[in-house]
Amino acid sequence: MFNSNSIERDFGKYIKEHSIAVSKLYKCIPDIYNAIELINRCYESKGKVLFFGNGGSAADSQHLAAELVGRYKKNRKAISAIALTTDSSIITAVANDMHFNKIFQRQVEGLANSNDILFAISTSGESINVINAVKAGKKIGCKVVSLTGAKKSLLAKISDISIKAPSYDVNHIQELHILIGHFICEIIEKNYK
C-alpha cells in the first residue's frame, strides 16, 4: 500500500538519480555544440530537420518538430522541421505492405534531400527502423544527429554527431533527451534569421 512516507522517500531517490544524470550532461557540450552548428548550416542552406524515433522517442520527435515549426520562446518565422512519426497512413501502410523496420526509411527516401538533417532518437541506439532510415539518409547525403543513451550503439557509430545521454536507465535517458532537445531548439531559434 502507498503511504506518504514511502512516496516521499521514493520520489526523493528518483530526483537524486535524475540530478546525478543531469549533472553529467556537461560532458555532452561538445557534441551539442557540433549538432547546433550542423543544424544551423542546414537551415542556412534551406534544408529541413526530420525527426524520428519509437515510443517515447516518437513523442520527443513530435515535440521538438513542433517547437521549431511553431515557436519555442519567441515569435518568429516557422523553422522547417518534420516528425516522421505522425502520419498513421504512411506508417501503417509501410508496416503492413513492407515491414515495420522500413517505416522511417521509406519516408526518408521520399522526403529527404541532401541538405537535410536526420535527427534520430533512440534510447538504446539499436532500433532497426531508426538505423535503416539513417542508412537511407546517408545514401542521399543527409547528415545525421542522434540522441542515444550512454552505452555503445550502432546508431551512435553511424551518426555524424551522436549526443549520448549519460545514463543507462531508459526513463532518465528520455528525460535528458527532452532537456537536450529543448536547449537545441532554444539556440536554433535564437540564431534563426
User: Which segments of 70-165 does DSSP mark as H helices, in order?
Assistant: 88-97, 103-111, 128-140, 154-158
CB 51 within 8 A of CB 64: yes
Residue type, 54: N
Q: What is the maximum span of the chain, computed from C-alpha positions, in angstroms?
A: 58
Helix, strand, coil share of the chain (percent; to 5): 60, 10, 30
Helices (H) and strands (E) in the chain, counts: 8, 5
Q: Answer yes or no: is pLDDT of 1 > 70.
A: no
The tens digit of pLDDT for each residue in 139-164 reads 999 999 999 999 999 999 999 999 99
pTM across the whole model: 0.96
CATH topology of domain 4-191: Rossmann fold (3.40.50)
Residue type, 150: A
User: Any bridge partners for residue 83, and if so which?
Assistant: 51
The tens digit of pLDDT for each residue in 115-137 reads 999 999 999 999 999 999 999 99
Could you tell me the pLDDT band of residue 61, with boundaries at 50, 70 and 90? very high
What is the residue extent of each domain of the chain? 4-191
Summary mean pLDDT of the chain? 97
The tens digit of pLDDT for each residue in 92-109 reads 999 999 999 999 999 999
| C-alpha cell read off for 162 | 551522436
Q: For the chain, how far is it from start to end, CA to CA, in angstroms? A: 55
